[in-house]
Structure 1
Amino acid sequence: MPHTEPLSGLDAAFLALDSRHTPMHMGAVGVFQPDGEPDHEQLWWLLAERAEAIPRLRLRLRETWFPPGGARWERDPVFDVERHLRVRRAPDTHDPATLSRYASEWIAEPLPEDAPPWQLDVLTGLPGGQFALLFKLHHALTDGAGAVQVAAGLFDGMPPHVDTPTPEPADRSWREQLDDVVRSARNGWDVVRSTRPLHNAPLAAFPSTARRLAFVRIDAADLRVIRKRHGGTPNDVALAVLSGALRSWLRWRGERVEDVTLRALIPVSLRSRVAGAGNRLSGYLCDLPIGIASPLGRLAHVRTCMDRNKSAGPQAGPGTLPLLANQLPVPLHRLFTGFAGVSSNALFDTTVTNVPLPSIPLRVGGAQLSAAYPVVPLAPGQALGVAVTPYRDAVHIGLNANADATPDIGVLAEALEKETAILHELCS
């Protein structure tokens, strides 16, 4: 890959949104089951060697003089893997909540600004002799699908991913350029029309540096039964389960749920359509029907909404906010995006992203990956982010919450399990 790489407009947007209260790093928590007692020193050296071989993990941000306010990625000439990789031991080897507590503090820690923006922790001493790898990196560096490609180089037998250089813009006719302008204008108008008055929504929150994570594991077989009986995609079923869980959770909190709809931003990867590194995203907006009492009614509503999104495609509609952000110059993001970000609740209430892993068994140092919980950053002013990772026989859900606004995130985690069981029972 080249020694330097320009930031895209969307990369710059994530940098502009980043602050002490809204860190824009995403991550994943992988749990591994070794055959015996792992050699932690040997594991550190193994991971260090593999991380050093991944080109994208050597990139740091460099400001540019021209254009003013611009920036580029460059290879860190003094890259030191020891700044990014550390081994910790769990304080309580018998408490199942040890991992989520540790991960909550870990995800809230800022990433270095003078070095490649990533961190990898090895947490040992978990129940059953397990250990965890906690990997986080700044969203400006890549998107969720890109992060999977980067992290693949840490696993046994997987070569380090080498980015495809971003191609030079092709010569386009005036008609094609005009079509792009018209499409962007139409999408921009769709975004404006979809904004709502700022209000005290259930998932709105004052800024906080504290985070609380919760992890949920759902059997993939249960979701397949629901799909077979009632239709929809795996993502449709997951969104319906989340809608029911949010309804139960809000009722437990004593909040009104009748006629309530929460809107989710669903990122859509364009990595298979657009070459290059960095962020390659669009999105859909999906209304989560909290006010519908029937589980099957919620599923039907979600299916209709997502079918409408997919009919329009990821290049059209109000969910194309990432595409519009990608068209703005980096200096403009530096000036305006941070201010605009505080109004994200006008367009959506939460982010729900799906980041699948390869279906093959994955191992590190011979220890098999048994669970993989993704973590999506919180948008400014929002209390909850939801990330979903299907892997082999399970669907793993990571809940990232503003700890001050959502200290009861464990109740929502339990509601996700119960809602899945309710939908499964309706298939009997």
Structure 2
Amino acid sequence: MKNRLRPRDIAFLAEESRTSPMHNATLEIFEPGDSGFDYQRLVDLIDERVAFVPRYRQRIQSVPGRLANPVWIDDEGFDLAFHVRRSGLPRPGTMEQLRELVARIMSRPLDTARPLWEVYFIEGLQDGRVAVLSKSHQILVDGVQTVDIGQVLLDTKPEPKELERDDWTPRRAPSPFTLTTSAIKDNLVSPTVLLATGQSVADGAVRRASAAQGRFAAVANALANRRPAPESPISAELSEQRRFVTVRTDFEDYRRIREEHGTSVNDVVLATLTGALRTWLMARGTSSTSMRSLRAMVPMSVIDDDLEATSLGSQIAGHLVTLPIGEPSPVIRLHQVAYAFKSHKETGRAVAANRLAGIAGFAPTTFHALGSRVAAEHQRKGFHLTITNVPGPQFPLYAAGAQMVATYPVQPLLPGQALAIGVTSYDGGVYYGISADRDALPDVAVLAQCVTESLDELLDTASGVRQRAPRGRRTPRKDT
């Protein structure tokens, strides 16, 4: 069957647990204005455009006897109302309340018996705004067969595109006999299917045996030649609950720092996070002498024929970066981060940020999802956290006529890693979404404050780029 799951997808499903759900999300905030954007308009919009992501109407079906990997089949009981849900905040509808709701939603695994996604329409925000939280499983968005649903819901103009709803009728689910005969045929005809089946069965047996003996992590690491990351203040055994915090900063500040120091916007973002992590960890009592650096997986967009092609015009490769949190100078931190990316740029494979931002639709949602997939695939390299940084368009986008005024990526946590960060630039802003384990990092909101302070510290090194307010009297940025 063409829609058979690949070994990497099987691995994602097998490694998922109550403490490590494998889904990505994006939180978007809208100004409805006179558009009439409400829950029903969102349902109608998704109903109109879900045809562009057909896998969002499919579920996973296992094969009897595990003769081959499971397949994607149409969900005969597909119910859009089940996947598009309505929620609301109590007054006053603050960002803190919204973040708490997002954290609770992100803590819940998706139902593997149904299509692996949910969208929440959240009402009751201050100033009459509404939010949309879209949540999709990592195996659903592979960039090859399927992009993230958030990429097809947004328009570049307030006037929504007039599209005809497709007359979709689910195909009848294959019988156990059909699944069995198809699996036998695929194994006989295609050596790759037979190899994938054998690999999945073997991996499953190892997981079951090692889990029964309470030695899963050690056995899995040995078999995969996985090197566990050194212990760090952000390494922890995960709970089932999450925290989520957000930061909005101005894109122009990053441009000014870039121009002053001859780096890139991406370098400035990573240096800002390095400074923020340094200040936060020191505030937690971590000595900078005992913790000189953190290893971050920073997925990068590249052009590489040896990697799997995507529908977005580029591939995603994992890039390990050492964040120099022990360095007190913000300028030296910036140039150390820039040097870490220099070799990547000199290969000629790197994709320019303006090219990524010009991809049709709102590509950041899909790129963040692909970045988290790459990070999960590279756990054996031993790093402390994942940071995805994706450039978006510098002009407003709309859903059913409502203008999107903010967008925050919500990244999953990998086993043993209590922190993950996503960054999206959009329409004059740079938006940080910081995901953390609720029990391990109860003070993660302090890290969000440190991001703004770290950016200010870098701005202070850029001569003449702005009028500095008297110390202690800076105008705080508004986190929309």
Is this a same-fold pair by TM over 0.5?
A: yes
In the superposition, relative to structure 1, how do residues 198 and 241 fare at CA in structure 2: closer, same or farther (>3 Å)? Answer: closer
1:201 and 2:232 aligned:
yes
Alignment partner of 2:431 out of 392, 396, 421: 396
- Look up the match of 2:29: 31
Residue 95 in structure 1 maps to residue 68 in structure 2: no
Partner of 1:301: 336
Q: Would the alpha carbon gap of residues 5 and 195 (structure 1) be closer, same or farther in structure 2, given more than 3 Å must change?
A: closer
Match for 2:421 among 386, 409, 419?
A: 386
Moved more, 63-72 or 298-307: 63-72
In the alignment, structure 1 residue 211 sits paired with structure 2 residue 242: yes
Structure 1 residues 280 and 146, CA, compared in 2 at 3 Å: closer, same or farther?
farther
Higher deviation after alignment, 378-387 or 343-352: 343-352
Q: Distance in 2 between matches of 1:389 and 1:65?
A: 43
Greater displacement, 392-401 / 305-314: 305-314
- 3-state SS in 2 of match to 1:6: coil
Report Cα offsets for 1:335-360 as digits up to 9, x if no partner: xxxxxx89948610000012333444
Q: How many residues align?
A: 371
1:254 aligns with 285
Q: CA deviation at 1:62?
A: 2.1
Report the equivalent of 1:85. Answer: 84
Question: Secondary structure of 1:374's partner?
Answer: strand
Q: Aligned in 2, Cα 1:195/1:130: closer, same or farther, shift over 3 Å?
A: same
Q: Structure 1 144/240 Cα, relative in aligned 2: closer, same or farther at 3 Å? A: farther
C-alpha offsets along residues 87-134 of structure 1, whole Å, 9 cap, x if unaligned?
Answer: 111122343311111111111111111111000000011011000000
Deviations 1:17-60 (A, max 9, x none): 21110011001000001114846343243234235433131122
Letter of the structure 2 residue corresponding to residue 28 of structure 1:
T
State how far apart, in whole Å, the 2-side matches of 1:275 and 1:145 are. Answer: 7
The reply to whether residue 240 of structure 1 matches residue 271 of structure 2 is yes
Take 1:47 and 1:27, find their aligned partners in 2: how far apart are those partners? 19
Aligned-partner Cα distance in 2 for 1:390–1:199: 31
When residues 133 and 407 of structure 1 are mapped into structure 2, their CA distance, relative to the original with a 3 A threshold, is: same
For residues 227-253 of structure 1, the C-alpha deviation after alignment (integer angstroms, 9 at most, x for no partner) is 001122221111111000000000110
Secondary structure of 2:56's aligned partner: helix
Q: Which amino acid aligns with 2:25?
A: G
CA contact 2:50–2:149 (8 Å) conserved in 1: no
- Code of the residue aligned with 1:286 in structure 2: it is V
> Structure 1 residues 342 and 78, CA, compared in 2 at 3 Å: closer, same or farther?
closer
Q: Give the 5 Å matches for 1:345-364.
A: 347-364=382-399
Among 11, 21, 25, which residue is 2:19 paired with? 21
Equivalent runs, 1:256-271 vs 2, <5 Å: 256-258=287-289, 260-269=292-301
| TM-aligned CA distance change 1:8 to 1:116, over 3 Å | same
Aligned-residue RMSD, C-alpha: 3.2
Q: C-alpha displacement at 1:294, in angstroms?
A: 0.5
Give the drift of 1:74.
2.6
Map of 1:154 onto structure 2: 153
CA 203–21 in structure 1, closer or farther in 2 if over 3 Å, else same: same
Mark the structure with the bigger radius of gyration: 2
| Contact persistence 1:342–1:380 (CA under 8 A) | no
Given the two structures, how large is their TM-score scaled by the length of structure 2? 0.70
1:151 Cα shift? 1.6
Task: Provide TM-score, normalisation by structure 1.
Answer: 0.78
Offset from partner CA, 1:396-415 (integer Å, 9 cap, x none): 11001011001111100000
- In percent, how many aligned pairs have the same letter? 36
Letter in 2 for 1:46: D
Which of 403, 422, 425 aligns to 2:457? It is 422
Task: Please say if residues 141 and 148 of structure 2, whose CA atoms lie closer than 8 Å, have aligned partners that are also in contact.
Answer: no
Paired residue type of 1:16: A
Structure 2: distance between partners of 1:59 and 1:421 = 47
Tell me if structure 2 keeps the 8 A contact 1:212–1:402. Answer: yes
Q: Do the aligned residues in 2 keep the contact of 1:47 with 1:154 (CA within 8 Å)?
A: yes
1:83 CA displacement: 1.3
Distance apart, 1:9 and its partner CA: 3.6
* Structure 2 partner of 1:330: none
Counterpart contact for 1:32–1:367, Cα < 8 Å: yes
* Partners of 1:81 and 1:345 in 2: CA distance: 38
* CA distance in structure 2 between the partners assigned to 1:66 and 1:284 by the alignment: 39
Contact 1:33 / 1:370 at 8 angstroms: preserved in 2? yes
* CA distance in 2 between partners of 1:381 and 1:35 (Å): 43
Structure 1 pair 261–87 and aligned structure 2 pair: CA distance change class (3 A): same
| Separation (CA, whole Å) in 2 of partners of 1:123 and 1:13 | 33
**Corresponding position of 2:472:** none
Please tell me whether the aligned partners of residues 141 and 147 of structure 2 are also in contact (alpha carbons under 8 angstroms).
Answer: no
Q: How is 1:68-79 mapped onto 2 (pairs within 5 angstroms)?
A: 68=67, 70-79=69-78
Answer yes or no: is the 8 Å Cα contact 1:345–1:382 preserved in 2: no
Amino acid at match of 2:21: P
2:133 aligned partner: 134
1:112 correspondence with 2:105: no
AA aligned to 2:309 is A
CA distance in 1, matches of 2:56, 2:378: 32
Q: Which deviates more, 379-388 or 65-74?
A: 65-74
2:95 aligned counterpart, secondary structure: coil
Residue 298 of structure 1 aligns to a residue whose secondary structure is helix
Preserved CA contact (<8 Å) 2:228 2:382 = no
Determine helix, strand or coil for the equivalent of 2:424. strand
The 1:148–1:100 alpha-carbon spacing in structure 2 relative to 1, beyond 3 Å, is farther
**In 2: Cα distance, 1:383 partner to 1:37 partner:** 40
Residues 420 and 41 from structure 1, CA distance in 2 versus in 1: closer, same or farther, beyond 3 angstroms?
Answer: closer
**Counterpart selection for 1:405 from 412, 435, 440:** 440
In structure 1, distance between residues paired with 2:144 and 2:292: 32
Pair 1:231 & 2:262 matched:
yes
Amino acid of the structure 2 residue aligned with 1:40: D
CA 1:11/1:345 → structure 2, altered by over 3 Å: closer, same or farther? closer
Q: Map of 1:274-353 to 2, 5 A cutoff?
A: 274-276=308-310, 281-311=316-346, 344=379, 347-353=382-388
Q: Secondary structure at the match of 1:373?
A: strand
Residue by residue over 1:370-424, the C-alpha shift from the partner in whole angstroms, topping out at 9 and shown as x without a partner, is 0000011111010100111111201111001011001111100000011011101
Gaps (5+ residues) in structure 2?
167-222, 351-375, 464-480
